[in-house]
Amino acid sequence: MRHQAWRHRACSLVVVAVAAVLGLVRPAGAHPHVWVSAKAEVLFDAKGAIAAIRNTWVFDEMYSAFVTEGQAKGGKLLTREELAPLAKSNVDDLAGFGYFTFAKATRTKVEFNAPTEVSLEEREDKRVVLRFTLPLKVPASAAKAFSFQIYDPTFFVAFELERENPVVLVDAPSGCSANVLGAKPLETAESKLLTEAFFSGLSPGADFGIKLASRTIVACP
């Protein structure tokens, strides 16, 4: 029944991915495999500490069409106001999954407060964009090791950082920098597992997403 409900749009956008991670969608079914182009802004506070990470996620054309189908009136693009309830519910449902945003400060896991500045909109090219800001519970000093990754552990949602300016520092002290490190090449067995997963519609593994995730290191003098 849960799978059937999803087919009739009871779940949408990120909620679909969350349902898949929870195992609420039958593994034998045609799982959604969503591609996301991601950009992150690292926000600094007045004291020069890292205060938040602002995510911008652009969803692929096919999935964007699935989300917006039948909702627009007169062929017009959906506005932020029209999509506001959906944006809130989607981000709320991501809370149990760390918002697919994983950060460490001095090798310690970073905890986030509830997201702010949540919005969802449809671009001119018909692609759907989700934006939200994750405030750190405790601001982190970039003078020490700070890093973060954006990924879905099960790889139902495939995140890829944008090629141009994937990470931007906002209000950073002079001399701060962000270094984006690409994922290590997969081993032969891992590549085979990923290929089989695409054909079977199953997840390649509970922690496979991190193997393909870029890591961003933020450093300040």
Which pLDDT does position 211 carry in this prediction? 66
Higher pLDDT, 129 or 188: 129
Radius of gyration of the chain (CA): 18
The phi, psi pair for 28, rounded to 5°, reads -75, -10
Most confident of 16-25, 46-55, 67-76, 204-213: 46-55
- pLDDT category, 207, cuts 50, 70, 90? low
Is residue 102 over pLDDT 80? yes
Q: Read off the pLDDT of each residue in 99-127 and give the average, rounded to a whole number.
A: 94
Nearest to 93 by CA among 209, 214, 208, 12: 12
**Domain boundaries along the sequence of the chain:** 2-219
Q: Read off the pLDDT of each residue in 85-100 and give the average, rounded to a whole number.
A: 88
For residues 189 and 24, give the distance between their C-alpha atoms in angstroms, rounded to a whole number: 28
- Cα–Cα–Cα angle for 88, 119, 93, nearest 5°? 30
Higher pLDDT, 33 or 220: 220
Which pLDDT does position 208 carry in this prediction? 53
Q: What is the pLDDT of residues 131-145, one digit of tens each?
A: 999 999 999 998 888
Which pLDDT does position 204 carry in this prediction? 46
Is residue 200 over pLDDT 60? no
Which pLDDT does position 2 carry in this prediction? 34
Is residue 5 over pLDDT 80? no
Q: Read off the pLDDT of each residue in 140-162 and give the average, rounded to a whole number.
A: 89
Structure tokens at 192: 């085979």
Which pLDDT does position 144 carry in this prediction? 86
Q: What is the pLDDT of residues 31-48, one digit of tens each?
A: 437 889 999 999 999 999
Q: Read off the pLDDT of each residue in 190-215 and give the average, rounded to a whole number.
A: 55
Q: Read off the pLDDT of each residue in 97-108 and give the average, rounded to a whole number.
A: 93
- pLDDT category, 221, cuts 50, 70, 90? confident
Side chain identity at residue 48, one-letter code: G
Q: Read off the pLDDT of each residue in 192-208 and give the average, rounded to a whole number.
A: 49
Higher pLDDT, 96 or 1: 96
Higher pLDDT, 126 or 10: 126
Higher pLDDT, 51 or 214: 51
Structure tokens at 153: 């552990």
